[in-house]
Amino acid sequence: MRAFVYQRVADVRAATTAGAAGQGVRFIAGGTNLLDLMKLEIETPLRLVDISRLPLKGIEVTPEGGLRIGALVTNSDLAADPAVRCQYPLLSQAILAGASGQLRNRASVGGNLLQRTRCFYFYDCTTPCNKRSPGSGCAAIGGFNRIHAVLGTSDDCIAAHPSDMAVAMAALGAHIETRTADGSGRTLSLDELYRPPGHTPHLETNLAEGELIVAVVLPPPPRGAQIYRKVRDRASYAFALVSVAAVLAADASKIHDARVAFGSLAPKPWRSIDAELALIGQLPSREIFETAAEAGLKGARGYGHNDFKIALARRMLVAVLEQLAGRR
């Protein structure tokens, strides 16, 4: 691990000021991903700003009837929160499907959103990787790419975002709240948070230097039933090959509302508005679910070893929608 200066901050303003003080400054909260990457010298911050003591650990009901989740709420606390378990069960399911009990106890909500890909080549410093070493090439394209993305990729990077939690949040239409060094803040959808890889896959978000995620805001609970389903190589403690977060509000004759997001298919949690639009207003049936799955995977491109993900994601979405429709 490269040497760094450690700085503990007591309030958000001090954090954003320290965060904007120059290049090489990184915030650390749980550190479960960042420290791992620092040990491998993939991350080499000069200064770590410890935000773990900031008062961003509350979960509160918003005036609109949603939830505002502090960025430092642990993954464990969020999954175990009574309001989340009752009103947003797919979020609890998604969090509990990720990592281990130990990691969830330490990992923060904000850090989960900002965790980096588990692409083998990103981790292997002996291989080219445009995300780790811009301009060096992509070893995954043409390499062992079974775990890689099929949607939203570029010719420079096919790494997938590994989060489970973020997939559920994408389906729920979550927004993040940030603060910057000048004291201002903004609200971003998850789609606005993440940058497409394009020619600069090392730039993963649209956050400015020193901009700190302070909360995630969930809209009021959606109508209908919710499911998070994850397919992986082991039954527990493994990243997804494909995951699906879906919400369906339907009666026998009509789908009133639908939310669909895929995990481990793209460089970001992939909400599929196309799949949702294919469902809303239609008569629930296997045919319409297949049409929605087709719409959701439109434009997907396999890279050899990961071709199976396209068919798997389609079938998972159909199965999840059938299960949700059966629950109505």
Partner 1 sequence: MSQFGTNRRTFLQSAALAGWALGAESPLIAPIAGIAQDTARSGGEAMQVALTVNRERWSLVLDTRTTLLDALREHIGLTGTKKGCDHGQCGACTVLLNGRRINACLTLAVMLEGDDITTIEGLGAASTLHPLQAAFITHDGFQCGYCTTGQICSAVGMLAEADAGWPSRITNDVAVSPVLTDAEIAERMSGNLCRCGAYPNIVAAIKSVASRGLE
Whether 160 contacts 147, CB under 8 Å: yes
Q: What is the Cα–Cα distance from 208 to 197, expressed in whole angstroms?
A: 17
Q: Which is nearer to partner 1, 52 or 200 (CB)?
A: 52
Minimum CB separation from partner 1 for residue 294, in Å?
29
133 interacts with partner 1 by CB under 8 A: no
Q: What is the CA radius of gyration of the chain?
A: 19
Q: Which is nearer to partner 1, 104 or 148 (CB)?
A: 104
Residues 234-273 that bind partner 1 (CB under 8 A): 235-237
Q: Which is nearer to partner 1, 45 or 70 (CB)?
A: 45
Three-class secondary structure of residue 257 per DSSP:
strand
Q: What is the Cα–Cα distance from 163 to 94, expressed in whole angstroms?
A: 9
Exposed / middle / buried, residue 122 (Cβ in 10 Å: 0-12, 13-18, 19+): buried
Three-class secondary structure of residue 273 per DSSP:
helix
Minimum CB separation from partner 1 for residue 79, in Å?
7
Whether 234 contacts 194, CB under 8 Å: no
Residues 10-29 that bind partner 1 (CB under 8 A): 28
Q: What is the Cα–Cα distance from 46 to 29, expressed in whole angstroms?
A: 16
Residues 37-96 that bind partner 1 (CB under 8 A): 38-39, 48, 50, 52, 76, 79-80, 85-86, 89, 92-93, 96
Q: Which is nearer to partner 1, 92 or 153 (CB)?
A: 92
Choosing from 14, 21, 103, 188, the residue that interacts with partner 1 (CB under 8 A) is: 103
Which positions lie near partner 1, rule CB under 8 A? 1, 3-6, 8, 28, 31-32, 35-36, 38-39, 48, 50, 52, 76, 79-80, 85-86, 89, 92-93, 96-97, 99-103, 105-106, 235-237
